[in-house]
Structure 1
Amino acid sequence: MVSVIATLRHHTDEVSCCAFSPSLLATSSGDKTLRVYSAADFSELPFSPLSGHGYGVHCCRFSSCGGFLLSCSTDGSVIVWSSGTGEVTAVLQHPGRSPLRVCALAPDSSLLLAGACDGTVALWDFSSKTLRRCSAASEASVVACCFSPCGQMFVTGCTHGDLKLWDTDISLLHALRDAHDLGVTCCSFAPQFKIGDDGCCVEFRLASCGQDSQLKIWIVSQREGAGRELLPKKKKPFDSEQLSAGGTAASRQEGGELLTKSLFGSETLGALLYTLKQHDRYVTAVALSPTMPWIATGSMDKTVNVWRIERDGVSRTEAESRQTACHGRNLPGHSRLLVADWSEEDVQTWLCEEGLQELVSIFKANNIDGAELSQLDKETASELGIESVGLRGRLLRKIEALKAEQSGSEAPDEFLCPITRELMKDPVIAADGYSYERESIESWIRGKNKTSPMTNLPLQTTLLTPNRSLKTAITRWKSSQ
């Protein structure tokens, strides 16, 4: 069963893109703005709309943990926004000032990619915001791009219909001519990947769609010591559908209808699940929430609809309980106050937010407010009667992280392990495409029946791949502090 739970009517031009983070929904439009909504009740945030582009915005994307929002525009720029405040943290200009049609961020947020109308792709180091390379990728406009779950490859699609696979040095690995006769419109990797029985072959699934009204599923196969290739998963492509940027839903761009499909990891691959009829004009954007049973759809009718999905007996309440801890570090009510200005109630709320509920009664009995919290040290914690060394250490680390956050020296969100929210020392990539601290994800796998901490879906393999580029970025950031 699918039902509309919200209709957003704030844009004054057609909606071009929708994107979910674990706690937010962002939309972009030809009206030059982005709108940001709470994913709790779909109320627009106080700092929305975001107005920084000089022309229409074509694409918006969140970083993996939702700390940053990216947008690209006909004005030739990518703007990086803080998801918590709406402030501009960086403006990256295409070297040739060519209009940008699409952007993507690597799963570990180490690289930022943008595709341009002149056929080039620009690749930036995201942590330093420096341009690594700008290279020709096509003779036509690059209108689609996505990174592989491992972050070591990316795919581009152009208006001539070609799909191309590249490494992160923008060296061509494989080219598939005329993948879609009338041009590619978007592409997306499945977050999981498969390890061959012999342990030497890695397979990724890629979905692409185009103006030929076809959706196609491809296998990107890489064997150790060999090259990569794109192979069709199905000989007969699905007809009359358009893949969303999220890679798990599809939309038919005719009559305002939306068709959703289960694309990856399903025995009934490509089976029609729902036909949704709500928009008055063509559906132009689709996004699937990573934590909730919600789909957002944007249209040329200038509206965004949010749909709730109930399938296989899973209700909204049950799905909500599956949300992960990766919701950013903003706290309702007191998040914009300095720690020293927090009331006793704010401190107690913060303890609950950080998973320290057992300390609430101690702090309440001792009337600990924000000023006292900021001064709390090991000796004071002992005097309060916190006997557990582990609990005391965890509290002090949380306090230091909180003070670092408010002083502006907090580590970038992508450097923090999604499980512990602590700076990673040995980051690894799991089968869900996310990076974790090795010790934390290994412990999670042992105790959580091999499910992803970020998506709650089964991990296809427990193989962990060292994320050397992220480890280097963290080391570089630490040396600059």
Structure 2
Amino acid sequence: MVSLICTLRHHTADVNCCTFSRNLLATASTDKTIRIFSIIDFSELPFSPLTGHGYGVHCCCFSACGKYLASCSTDGTTIVWSMGTGETVTAFEHPRRSPVRVCAFSPDSTCLVSGASDGTFALWNFCSRTLRRTGTVNETSVVACSFSPCGQVFVTGSSYGDIRVWDLEVNQLHAEKDAHDLGVTCCHFASQIYIEGEVANVRLASCGQDSLLKIWTVSHLSVAGCTMQLLHCLSAQSAPVLSCAFSTDGQYVVSGSVDKTVTIYNANQGVLLYTLSEHERYVTACAFAPMTSLIATGSMDNTVNVWRFGDQNREGGDEGEVLAVGAANASCEGRKQQTGRLRQLVCDWSEEDVSAWLRDEGLEPLVRTFRDNNIDGVELLGLSKEALASELNIESVGLRNKLIRKTEELKLSSASSDCPDEFLCPITREVMTDPAIAADGYSYEREAIQSWINGKNRSSPMTNLPLQTTLLTPNRTLKMAIGRWKSSQ
């Protein structure tokens, strides 16, 4: 069943896009703003709304780790925002300053593609903040784009109606002419990769002005390029379909239409499951939340509806699942807190930060002494063995030696605190030396993910969903980016 949880009425104009990270919902609007909400209680974050675009915002997307959000606008820019502070990380100006209609991060967040109204698209190197390649379709607008889960190819959809497949050198691998009569409006890859011999198969959902939602199989052959085969042509909506998205597990696909409805299909069978009719105007945006049963839909009625979706075959209540995810997020936040603290400047630590670090490192007996002496980050880094004994009166030689050793480790960690998050293996949280892409689309240190798989753990470390294959693909682009970053240090 599907139930409406809440309606967000914060925007003052059309909602053009909505997208989820693991714990946030972002919405973009013609009112020039992007708003950020917590998916725990759908309260708006303190730094929201994000303002910086001069015209309406057409699209927004999260990086895989959720640390960044990209947004694009008629003003010709794609702005990347920090989800920790809400501040601008960088702003990409599209070549010729043409209005940018759509943007998408690669699964490893090393690349960002943006498509514009002049029929061009730009592939940006997000790590170096530079333009990598540009490409051109027909004399039309690029209105849709999506990266495959392996991150090695992406598709563009145009208002002319074609869908084109490109590699990272912007070589066209395939063109599906007239995929949608009168124009494509949106396209979205599923997260799963199916391997048959040397062929990698992924599914792509697309929708258009022809009032159809289509599901394709895109087959990538290392030598022969790409092919596209139509699996399902879905026609439950009576007007142009403006948006579509797969669920994280690839089992379902949702779409929004000019007829004001939202439809949910079984993506494998192409069967209509639900039709939702709560919006008062065109439904322009839709998205599934990762790892939860939430769906967000945005409309030209200026609202965003949040739905709870539960398949009748699933055991247990959805409320329990949402609560479990909330608890998991809280637990994960606790595990990540230390790592996040180490990646700030230690000299900016407060006395409370120092106390928390001492507890994390098993130095709890020193907390009171440090508090009594008002030790903050700057003073922590300046401590010596002599000062610990003579000024802080720490008598235990073992405690003094352990603290000095941990402080030295802290200095080393702090020295590389500016390392981009995308360069860190999600398992080890260390800079990768041999990054490899797994079937979930994420990049890991090869040894770490191989060890994970060899331990008979066939679920994704990032999504907790089953890995469809144990095949690992070298991420040479990311490896080169890490190499350049290391050379600059």
TM-score, structure 1 as length reference: 0.85
Q: Assess, with a 3 A threshold, how the Cα gap between structure 1 residues 377 and 203 changes in structure 2: closer, same or farther.
A: farther
Separation in 2 of the partners of 1:52 and 1:98? Answer: 17
1:292 equivalent in structure 2 = 292
1:208 equivalent in structure 2 = 206
Letter in 1 for 2:203: R
- CA RMSD in angstroms, aligned pairs only: 3.4
Q: How far 1:404 sits from its partner (Å)?
A: 5.0
Q: How far 1:462 sits from its partner (Å)?
A: 0.8
Separation in 2 of the partners of 1:328 and 1:104? Answer: 29
Which is worse superposed, 458-467 or 374-383? 374-383
Which is worse superposed, 365-374 or 139-148? 365-374
Separation in 2 of the partners of 1:430 and 1:378? Answer: 46
Query: Which one has a bigger Cα radius of gyration?
Result: 2
Separation in 1 of the partners of 2:384 and 2:306? Answer: 46
> Structure 2: where are the runs of 5+ without partners?
248-252, 389-395
Q: How many residues align?
A: 461
Kindly indicate which of the two structures has a greater share of residues assigned to helix. Answer: 2
Mapped contact 1:54–1:75 kept (Cα < 8 A): yes
Which is worse superposed, 217-226 or 253-262? 253-262
Mapped contact 1:65–1:328 kept (Cα < 8 A): no
Separation in 2 of the partners of 1:11 and 1:427? Answer: 41
Separation in 2 of the partners of 1:309 and 1:444? Answer: 31
1:230 maps to 2:228: yes
| Equivalences for residues 287-436 of structure 1 within 5 A | 287-311=287-311, 312=314, 313=316, 315=320, 316-321=322-327, 323=329, 325=332, 339=346, 346-347=353-354, 356=360, 359=362, 361=364, 364=367, 370-371=376-377, 374=381, 383-384=398-399, 400-401=412-413, 404-405=416-417, 410-436=418-444
1:261 equivalent in structure 2 = 265
Separation in 2 of the partners of 1:80 and 1:222? Answer: 30
Mapped contact 1:3–1:307 kept (Cα < 8 A): yes
1:247 maps to 2:262: no
Q: How far 1:21 sits from its partner (Å)?
A: 1.4
Q: How far 1:56 sits from its partner (Å)?
A: 0.6
Mapped contact 2:25–2:37 kept (Cα < 8 A): yes
1:17 equivalent in structure 2 = 17
Letter in 2 for 1:13: A
Q: Assess, with a 3 A threshold, how the Cα gap between structure 1 residues 46 and 200 changes in structure 2: closer, same or farther.
A: same
Q: How far 1:230 sits from its partner (Å)?
A: 0.8
TM-score, structure 2 as length reference: 0.84
SS at match of 2:291: coil
2:114 equivalent in structure 1 = 114
Deviations along 1:148-178, one digit per CA (max 9) or x if unpaired, are 1122211111112111111122221111111
Q: How far 1:114 sits from its partner (Å)?
A: 1.0
Match of 1:450 among 455, 458, 468: 458
Mapped contact 1:78–1:93 kept (Cα < 8 A): yes
Q: How far 1:217 sits from its partner (Å)?
A: 1.1
Which is worse superposed, 434-443 or 185-194? 434-443
Separation in 2 of the partners of 1:378 and 1:238? Answer: 74
| Percentage of pairs with the same residue | 56
Which is worse superposed, 70-79 or 289-298? 289-298
Which is worse superposed, 167-176 or 363-372? 363-372
Q: Assess, with a 3 A threshold, how the Cα gap between structure 1 residues 480 and 463 changes in structure 2: closer, same or farther.
A: same
SS at match of 1:96: helix
Q: Assess, with a 3 A threshold, how the Cα gap between structure 1 residues 40 and 345 changes in structure 2: closer, same or farther.
A: farther
1:156 equivalent in structure 2 = 156
SS at match of 1:64: coil
Mapped contact 1:63–1:105 kept (Cα < 8 A): yes
